[in-house]
Chain A
Amino acid sequence: MAHSSNQIFTSYERNPALLDEIYESNGEVKEIYKKLFSLYGEHSILDYVKLNEKAKSSFFNQGITFQVYSEKDTQEKIFPFDLFPRIIDPEDWDIIERGAIQRSKALNLFLWDVYHDKKIIKQGIVPMDLISSSINYMHQMLGVDPPGGIYNHISGTDIIKHSDGKYYVLEDNIRCPSGVSYVICNRTALKRALFGVFNHYQTCSVTNYAENLLELLESVKPKGVDVPNVVVITPGMYNSAFYEHSYLAKTMGVELVEGRDLFVENDFVYMKTIRGPLKVDIIYRRIDDLFLDPLEFKPDSSIGVPGLFAAYKKGNVTLANAPGTGVADDKAVYTYMPEIIKYYLNEEPILSNVHTYHCSRPDELKYVLEHIHELVIKPVDEAGGYGISIGNRLTKSEIETVKKQIKENPRKYVAQPILSLSVHPTYIDESESFEQRHVDLRTFTILGKDKEFVLKGGLTRVALKKGNLIVNSSQGGGSKDTWVLKNN
């Protein structure tokens, strides 16, 4: 199909240096995008704008919002959504899915090991530093056997497609990864707006997430429980992901609770109901470790449940994810993923890591300080894209500030080459046209007792600012529906 016949793509500018996901290298639209391209081409850009606006307002009306934290104020926003979906073919998806499961399993075994025998450290495969200087290593979890042996029940793996056409993992989020509700809402919004396009594609469903999540949670019920009572605990309606917490509770058909709705008596957890206390067996918790129980961790936490950790340690309640998983989503651990996968699974990594320089190693620190302009500098223990510096975007004085920060606390930073994330056509309000924008993909992997599942889809996050590489929603990114095509 020639460009000129497609009205909405007339002004689309392709930068040949970037990998555009809808085009082949010869400039042809990819086979899997052709139908979509022509269907969308039947509309004028004005039609498209109207539909997009309609989709957006439906997000607002449903209260699908998140909050952005900054020093000045907190704002409620809708997650900018784009009607042009991203399509992943079955061959690519196969790699992603197997790779995500492999990483989740390896990380789970790593967590078991660092909270039990610590063999991987004793055998010198990874340095002791990964636990001894990690603030997320939780001594309270030493020797604890979580039900089913599962720590990272839910993992969010952030993956990018590099200009070499290969997928790379940017990070593993195994504390409380969020975003899955957007995956499902994006699909619903797209179906509402453009139902017809789905007839032309065999797209895998994403609405089965909640049933799989519930099945997972029930697979790790405490010993001696027959029909477990599951709840979702949220820090409250002011949390940035509150919509998601309520969405997941609703779609799983379980109660959404806050800390004050629960209490612990004789090491069992109960929920207050109008018909009296009801025992709780499994908690999908969306509260950070240190806020779970004010009697064991932060005493000023008002969102936790006093006595919860003792009940957990006794095996009377399951927490998902397990406390202490943060030690493994430390970015310093990430750099050892190839070794970790090899050690526990005796397999080669299916998904590649991005090469990482540890500032804690003197020779690598030297390299980082000399090549800051070509590197992305990341703090090892922050989430949400906070604290990241991209070398080639920094002014001279900013470079000096970053260098100073690194030198003061080298263990806190890692650096990676600046990757060229693939781009995807994205509707941009300001120019009222499609432009190339960088995208990544967060996949959601579920690991239970004899259960593994990757949601066939995921959150494609778009960096809405031109040229911006940070796609986190908290940094002003948007999202796209992501289609995984069925294997014919």
Chain B
Amino acid sequence: MLLEYSIIYKAQNHYENWVDDAHWQFLIIPEQNNSQEFVSIDFTNSLNVPNEFSVNAYGFKTIRVNPKMKFKDIAFEADFKLIKREVNPFDFRPEEDIEGSFKKIEELNFRVDFEPFLRTTPLTFLPQNDKGLFVFDHTQSIFENLQNLNNWTFKHLYFKTGVTSVDTKLHEILENKHGVCQDFTHLFCALARANNVPARYVSGYLHQGNGYFGDSQMHAWAEAYIPNIGWMGFDPTNNLLANTNHIKVAHGKDYEDCSPLKGVVHTHGEHETSHTVQVSSQQQQ
């Protein structure tokens, strides 16, 4: 079954004083992959300055805007349309050789190839005492362990907006046991990596029709690599496997690599920013 998705991303910026020079880079375009096919993209800004399409350092598509004029207000609106193949996350050949999988992830070649997604970053740094918070059970498959970790993370933290920010470190999250999707995802990645399983941070959109957590901003989840199967998506905020409702934009070591909007704005004084995301879908005939 094919689903057509429409994603509307809006951002508004108001500055107290004139802005002389500004550069923005948006990392919000859905990735083109096996289950996602792109139909159209419409990106506009209220100053009507031309947009530039580029590719960032990790190979993901970006949109850059550099108004060559003074302004105090600017609004952006992106409208993406894409077709998504229905995904059944359980549709894969389960690991037959559990021992072999665990051996594989210990191999030097494997560890070198997946080095970026096994390393500790400032946002996925676990305090020494917390490294053993979730230890994989070697009698179960890596997939089952990851499912359990997904479930464990979901239960260990409770979802609360406004208490953490994009640069909140794990020790603080573990102390207070609350956070939003990026915090759940960082914790999941950190613990998968602590068990030698490559894990990457994914940013994207969640179709919210079904009462999931994820607010009306961009969503985050994780992908973990299982030998002989490949990358699989886990959404620890919702205790789900990533499915048709998850529309991927980019992945990286942590939030830093996937930040949806980066900007360099030359001004002083206060400014207000707001973002909204709306995802809707309809079944295609």
Residues of A that sit less than 8 Å from B by CB:
118, 121-122, 124, 128, 131-133, 139-140, 142, 263, 265-267, 294-296, 299, 306-307, 309-310, 313-314
Q: Are B115 and A131 in contact (CB under 8 A)?
A: yes
Contacting residues, chain A, for B23 (C-beta < 8 A)? 294-295, 306-307
Tell me which residues from 4 to 27 in chain B have a Cβ below 8 Å from any Cβ of chain A.
Answer: 23, 25
State in angstroms the CA–CA spacing of A132 and B113 once bound together.
11
Q: Are B56 and A139 in contact (CB under 8 A)?
A: no
Knowing A295-B23, A295-B25, A310-B57, say if A132 contacts B119 (CB, 8 Å): yes
Knowing A131-B115, A294-B264, say if A265 contacts B52 (CB, 8 Å): yes
Q: Are B115 and A313 in contact (CB under 8 A)?
A: no
The 8 closest A-B pairs by CB, nearest first: A140-B57, A306-B23, A295-B25, A294-B264, A310-B54, A296-B57, A139-B116, A118-B112
Contacting residues, chain A, for B90 (C-beta < 8 A)? none
**B55 in the interface, Cβ–Cβ < 8 Å?**
yes
Contacting residues, chain A, for B66 (C-beta < 8 A)? 263, 265, 306
Q: Are A295 and B119 in contact (CB under 8 A)?
A: no
Contacting residues, chain B, for A128 (C-beta < 8 A)? 108, 111-112, 115
Q: Are A295 and B264 in contact (CB under 8 A)?
A: yes
Contacting residues, chain A, for B55 (C-beta < 8 A)? 310, 313-314
Q: Are B112 and A139 in contact (CB under 8 A)?
A: no
State in angstroms the CA–CA spacing of A310 and B25 once bound together.
11
Knowing A122-B109, A128-B115, A314-B55, say if A139 contacts B253 (CB, 8 Å): yes
Residues of B that sit less than 8 Å from A by CB:
23, 25, 52, 54-58, 62, 64, 66, 108-109, 111-113, 115-116, 118-119, 253, 262-264
Closest-CB distance, A300 to chain B (whole angstroms): 8
State in angstroms the CA–CA spacing of A133 and B119 once bound together.
8
State in angstroms the CA–CA spacing of A132 and B119 once bound together.
6
Closest-CB distance, A119 to chain B (whole angstroms): 9
Contacting residues, chain A, for B57 (C-beta < 8 A)? 140, 296, 309-310, 313
Contacting residues, chain A, for B62 (C-beta < 8 A)? 310
Contacting residues, chain B, for A306 (C-beta < 8 A)? 23, 25, 64, 66, 264
Contacting residues, chain B, for A294 (C-beta < 8 A)? 23, 262, 264
State in angstroms the CA–CA spacing of A101 and B253 once bound together.
36
Contacting residues, chain B, for A121 (C-beta < 8 A)? 108, 112
Closest-CB distance, A125 to chain B (whole angstroms): 12
**Can you show 30 pairs from A to B with CB atoms below 8 A apart?**
A121-B108, A121-B112, A122-B112, A128-B108, A128-B115, A132-B115, A132-B119, A133-B119, A139-B58, A139-B116, A139-B253, A265-B66, A267-B52, A267-B54, A294-B23, A294-B262, A295-B262, A295-B264, A296-B56, A299-B264, A306-B23, A306-B25, A306-B64, A307-B23, A307-B54, A307-B64, A310-B54, A310-B56, A313-B55, A314-B55
Residue of A nearest to B22 (CB): A306
Closest-CB distance, A267 to chain B (whole angstroms): 6
Residue of B nearest to A131 (CB): B115
Number of A-B contacts (CB under 8 A): 63
Residue of A nearest to B53 (CB): A266
State in angstroms the CA–CA spacing of A99 and B80 once bound together.
57
Contacting residues, chain B, for A133 (C-beta < 8 A)? 119
State in angstroms the CA–CA spacing of A294 and B64 once bound together.
13
Q: Are B112 and A299 in contact (CB under 8 A)?
A: no
Knowing A131-B115, A265-B52, A307-B23, say if A140 contacts B58 (CB, 8 Å): yes
State in angstroms the CA–CA spacing of A313 and B54 once bound together.
11
Closest-CB distance, A436 to chain B (whole angstroms): 47
State in angstroms the CA–CA spacing of A296 and B57 once bound together.
7
Contacting residues, chain A, for B119 (C-beta < 8 A)? 132-133
State in angstroms the CA–CA spacing of A132 and B109 once bound together.
13
Knowing A299-B262, A313-B55, say if A142 contacts B116 (CB, 8 Å): yes
Closest-CB distance, B276 to chain A (whole angstroms): 23
Residue of B nearest to A118 (CB): B112
State in angstroms the CA–CA spacing of A306 and B23 once bound together.
7
Closest-CB distance, B145 to chain A (whole angstroms): 23
Closest-CB distance, A198 to chain B (whole angstroms): 50
State in angstroms the CA–CA spacing of A354 and B274 once bound together.
57
State in angstroms the CA–CA spacing of A140 and B116 once bound together.
10
State in angstroms the CA–CA spacing of A36 and B112 once bound together.
56
Contacting residues, chain A, for B113 (C-beta < 8 A)? 118
Closest-CB distance, A243 to chain B (whole angstroms): 28
State in angstroms the CA–CA spacing of A243 and B25 once bound together.
34
Contacting residues, chain A, for B52 (C-beta < 8 A)? 265-267, 307
Chain B CB within 10 Å, residue with most, of A118, A124, A139, A313: A139
A sample of 15 more A-B contacts (CB under 8 A), given A128-B112, A139-B58, A307-B25, is: A118-B112, A118-B113, A128-B115, A131-B115, A132-B118, A266-B52, A294-B23, A295-B23, A295-B264, A296-B57, A299-B263, A299-B264, A310-B54, A310-B57, A310-B62
Contacting residues, chain A, for B64 (C-beta < 8 A)? 295, 306-307
State in angstroms the CA–CA spacing of A142 and B115 once bound together.
11
State in angstroms the CA–CA spacing of A307 and B23 once bound together.
9
Residue of A nearest to B24 (CB): A295
Residue of A nearest to B263 (CB): A299
State in angstroms the CA–CA spacing of A139 and B111 once bound together.
15
Residue of A nearest to B266 (CB): A302
Closest-CB distance, A59 to chain B (whole angstroms): 37
Residue of B nearest to A265 (CB): B52
Closest-CB distance, B175 to chain A (whole angstroms): 22
Contacting residues, chain B, for A310 (C-beta < 8 A)? 54-57, 62
Residue of A nearest to B113 (CB): A118
Contacting residues, chain A, for B264 (C-beta < 8 A)? 294-295, 299, 306
Q: Which of A122, A263, A295, A299 contacts B108 (CB 8 A)?
A: A122
Closest-CB distance, B52 to chain A (whole angstroms): 6
Contacting residues, chain B, for A131 (C-beta < 8 A)? 115
Closest-CB distance, A302 to chain B (whole angstroms): 8
State in angstroms the CA–CA spacing of A121 and B64 once bound together.
37
Residue of B nearest to A297 (CB): B57
State in angstroms the CA–CA spacing of A51 and B229 once bound together.
76
State in angstroms the CA–CA spacing of A122 and B54 once bound together.
33
Contacting residues, chain B, for A307 (C-beta < 8 A)? 23, 25, 52, 54, 64
Closest-CB distance, A259 to chain B (whole angstroms): 10
Contacting residues, chain B, for A132 (C-beta < 8 A)? 115, 118-119
State in angstroms the CA–CA spacing of A381 and B19 once bound together.
38
Residue of A nearest to B21 (CB): A260
Residue of B nearest to A140 (CB): B57
State in angstroms the CA–CA spacing of A299 and B264 once bound together.
7
Contacting residues, chain B, for A266 (C-beta < 8 A)? 52, 54
Closest-CB distance, A173 to chain B (whole angstroms): 25
Closest-CB distance, B270 to chain A (whole angstroms): 18
State in angstroms the CA–CA spacing of A376 and B216 once bound together.
56
Contacting residues, chain B, for A295 (C-beta < 8 A)? 23, 25, 64, 262, 264
Contacting residues, chain B, for A309 (C-beta < 8 A)? 57
Closest-CB distance, A407 to chain B (whole angstroms): 14
State in angstroms the CA–CA spacing of A140 and B56 once bound together.
9
